[in-house]
Structure 1
Amino acid sequence: MDYQTVYQAITGRHSVRAFTSQTVDKALILELLNVAARAPSGTNCQPWQVYVATGAARDRIVTEVCALHDAARSDKAVAEQYTESYQYYPEQWISPYIDRRRENGWGLYGLLGIEKGEKDKMHEQHQRNFKLFDAPVALFFTVNKAMGIGSKMDIAMMMQNLMVAAQARGLATCPQAAWNHYHKVILPIVGASEDEELVCGMALGYADETEIVNKFITPRVKAEDFTHFVE
């Protein structure tokens, strides 16, 4: 195996925030998912379900969620009605994680020319999530509510496999936890059962290399800084 090819697929992946309108062939999506499904899972239970929304279904989700996102901005009651089914982020942030979060946010906004206090521009950029950054394919990953926290670890590994496989095939992705707030809207549209919980969404398509936002590459902490050898 050429390890450099594998390394390049992993390190070349980043969250793309502008896509072209070029469609993705269904057979290619299934190919990628079959590769991704080789991810490990506890006792090989393979707890994931994946919903691929394109065309009218994709557009309906975008339209309905964008309208709710707009409404939630000015109506606290709407915002309280649409919350995550599980807590993705901590209630109380601590360093160094909050520092990295801020660096990420202001780095992106700085590249886009959005300054602190420009709430309308921030809202518009946040809503780009719910427009899938114009990607033609939306993927929604679910697990059965009966499963434990380990199943979220399992599905996360499968998603990582998918993103790396997509990178290797010239496609781009953006994992999006932002969709989790609107699981009440999304899951009925895609036909998920009431026993399922939305874990994450993902935009899939071909990157628009002309957009400056796709020049934004987040830094990574060196392994020497988070690794502890115990001998």
Structure 2
Amino acid sequence: MHANAKWEESAVDRSTVVDLVMTERRAKRGFLKDPVSLDTVCGILNAARYAPSSSNIQPWKCHVLTGDARNRITTKAVDIFRAGPDKLAPEYPFFPQPLHDPFITRFNLFRGQLGDAVGVPRSDKYGRLKDVERQFRFFGAPVGMIFTMDRTLEWASFICYGCFLQNLMLAAKARGLDTCAQQIWSLQHNMLREELGFADSDMVVAGLSLGYADNNLAENNMPNHKLDIEEFVTFVS
């Protein structure tokens, strides 16, 4: 039987499983201490590497942090943040300033929900700083990842990188694990470059927390509003 025919026979089952993995994937901001084996991490990365990229240039580079290395990096990141959060600048802008509608409305809605979930209103500046420290601890996840990319590539390579990160997060979810992609690690590029030994020609794109989510936490059970397709799709025939 032709390979395509075999695929078509189980297409309904496959689509159901794939759709379920995509719709159940959520960013988790609190993890259990349960370890994740390196074999599992390698399996996730092995699947993610099949992400599409422009002319197959594959711009991604990944540093996997566990054990003592993870603890050393998180401790340094928190110390640097405490010493002067205003001194940290990312390798690339996260949002335009000012952020405009409809994006600012969505941003404020999400931030308000997150603040309520973790018990830190936006007016609580100290509480917000402590909450950022949780990010620099990978939210307690046993595995942290740092992603870098050659900075001489054009911005279009971020599209390729997004495909890779989504593949990785879906592969993790399919294995019963959860993730949180974290742009904020770009703020720590100087420390990461020194600690991990990558070249000045590489920029920090993001970090990622990987582990088993603690779903008893309110922040891991927030409503997750997504636009209906009618709100972002135009059908042309």
Paired positions, count: 225
How far apart, CA to CA, are the structure 2 residues paired with 1:115 and 1:40? 40
Within the candidate set 62, 66, 70, 1:54 is matched to 66
Q: 1:213: how far off?
A: 1.8
Q: Unaligned 5+ residue runs, structure 1?
A: 74-78
Deviation digits for residues 163-195 of structure 1, max 9, x if unmatched? 011000000000000111111111221222222
Structure 2 counterpart of 1:159, one-letter code: L
> Which residue identity is paired with 1:216?
M
Question: Which residue in the other structure is 1:189 paired with?
Answer: 195
**Counterpart residue type for residue 174 of structure 2:** A
Asked if 1:106 corresponds to 2:118, the answer is no
How does the TM-score come out when normalised to structure 2? 0.91
Matched, 1:15 2:27: yes
Name the SS of the counterpart of 1:20 in structure 2: coil
- Work out which of the two has the higher radius of gyration on C-alpha atoms and give 1 or 2: 2
The answer to whether the Cα contact below 8 Å between 1:53 and 1:190 also exists between their aligned partners in 2 is: no
Q: Once structures 1 and 2 are overlaid, which stretch shifts more, 7-16 or 207-216?
A: 207-216
Is the contact between residue 18 and residue 207 of structure 1 (CA under 8 Å) also seen in structure 2?
A: yes
Which whole-Å deviations, capped at 9, do the CAs of 1:6-40 have from their partners, x for residues lacking one? 00100100010110111111111111111111110
Query: Displacement of 1:92 after TM fit?
Result: 1.9
Which amino acid counterpart does residue 128 of structure 2 have in structure 1? Answer: M
Contact 1:40 1:154 in 2 (8 A): yes
Q: Which runs of 5+ in 2 are unaligned?
A: 1-10
Q: Secondary structure at the residue paired with 1:23?
A: coil
- State the AA in 1 paired with 2:53: S
Determine the structure 2 residue equivalent to 1:37: 49
**What is the correspondence of 1:108-187 to structure 2 with a 5 Å cutoff?**
108-187=114-193
Residues in 2 aligned to 1:116 and 1:136: alpha-carbon distance in whole angstroms: 28
Matched, 1:208 2:214: yes
Q: Secondary structure of the residue that 2:114 maps to in structure 1?
A: helix
> Structure 1 stretch 62-71 or stretch 115-124: which is displaced more?
115-124
**Cα deviation 1:115-152 (Å, max 9, x = unaligned):** 34222211111221111110011111111112111211
Q: Secondary structure at the match of 1:149?
A: coil
CA distance in 2, matches of 1:112, 1:42: 40
Whichever residue aligns with residue 198 of structure 2, its letter is: A
Distance, in Å, in 2 between the alignment partners of 1:91 and 1:104 is 18
Q: Identity of aligned pairs, percent?
A: 32
Q: Which range is displaced more, 44-53 or 110-119?
A: 110-119
Q: TM-score, structure 1 length as denominator?
A: 0.93
Aligned ranges for residues 58-73 of structure 1 at < 5 Å? 58-73=70-85
Could you tell me how far apart the structure 2 residues matched to 1:115 and 1:33 are?
37
